Amino acid sequence: MKVWLDQVELFKHPHLLLLQVRNSTFKLPGGRLRPGESDINGLKRKLTRNLSENEDGNGTQWEVSGCLGMWWRPDFEASLYPYLPPNVKQPKECTKLFLVKLPVSRKFIVPKNLRLLAVPLCQIQDNDKVELFKHPHLLLLQVRNSTFKLPGGRLRPGESDINGLKRKLTRNLSENEDGNGTQWEVSGCLGMWWRPDFEASLYPYLPPNVKQPKECTKLFLVKLPVSRKFIVPKNLRLLAVPLCQIQDNDKTYGPIISGVPHLLSKFSFNMIES
């Protein structure tokens, strides 16, 4: 199954193009592949069918960028998971999310039973990785047996994101007490969250009425070797928590940590047999 994501800007705020079915259900444009059809060709075929510039669909050019994420349906149940459960060898279905670029201005003709909507993200809104027991885990620090957080912290004035992250990792997750000899391989940024002012809430977008946010939190992926030992501060506890326990568990881990499985869904994991 292929689904599609697109962003448009309206009132200086990102939006999603959604299709509404019978004034109730919302869905992203897309659908199932034909036998032997590639992801990109199937997506373009569905976009041409549901979002044509004219009635016959001719002249529509779709610029499809990379895959944003993947979700699996293990069997005939309704739930989709941003990871493949460890006990599932042949999932029933895989859903992929792609980014499609649109020109500045474009008109569409949609089927009569569908309604095209541009919905702002604010209405839609609601690292380290280890492998254990053939399932991806996150390394979390637990503070006083209650609060969970990802290793990291605040930057010093003039310090870059990568250098600040490496400094914090060396301080909280050193291989030895003096922190020497620790090499960190930091990959790309997975996501960013903004704090508009002194409130506690963080947003995965910058609210349109905020010009100078109080804080910006960035989440990076850090690759670890096959085996490594850590020495953590005495007031912290290092835990390896499986993604299936973290997913959508806001009450325990907070919105950022509980959303990490969705951010990692665009990656394919190779489980290492020990």
Q: Are 129 and 140 in contact (CB under 8 A)?
A: no
Q: Tokens representing 247?
A: 């997913």
Q: Tokens representing 127?
A: 């690292």
Residues of the chain with CATH 3.90.79.10: 2-124, 129-266
* C-alpha span between 242 and 137 (Å, rounded): 4
Average pLDDT, the chain: 77
Could you report the per-residue pLDDT of 180-211, keeping only the tens digit for each? 656 788 888 888 998 888 877 888 888 888 88
Could you report the per-residue pLDDT of 50-94, keeping only the tens digit for each? 776 655 555 567 888 888 888 888 887 777 888 877 778 888 888
Q: At 10, is the pLDDT very low, low, confident or very high (cuts 50, 70, 90)? A: very low
> Is it the case that residue 256 has pLDDT exceeding 90?
no
For residues 212-226, average pLDDT: 86
Per-residue confidence (pLDDT) for residue 230, from 0 to 100: 78
- Among residues 222, 218, 233, the alpha carbon closest in space to that of 173 is found at 233
Could you report the per-residue pLDDT of 21-58, keeping only the tens digit for each? 776 677 888 888 999 999 988 888 888 887 766 555 55
pTM above 0.95, yes or no: no
Q: Tokens representing 128?
A: 């380290």
Q: At 219, is the pLDDT very low, low, confident or very high (cuts 50, 70, 90)? A: very high
Per-residue confidence (pLDDT) for residue 53, from 0 to 100: 62
CATH topology of domain 2-124: Nucleoside Triphosphate Pyrophosphohydrolase (3.90.79)
> Is it the case that residue 127 has pLDDT exceeding 60?
no
CB atoms within 10 A of CB 244: 16
Could you report the per-residue pLDDT of 157-186, keeping only the tens digit for each? 999 999 999 888 888 887 665 556 567 888
- Among residues 132, 127, 107, the alpha carbon closest in space to that of 118 is found at 107
CATH topology of domain 129-266: Nucleoside Triphosphate Pyrophosphohydrolase (3.90.79)
Which residue has better confidence, 190 or 118? 190
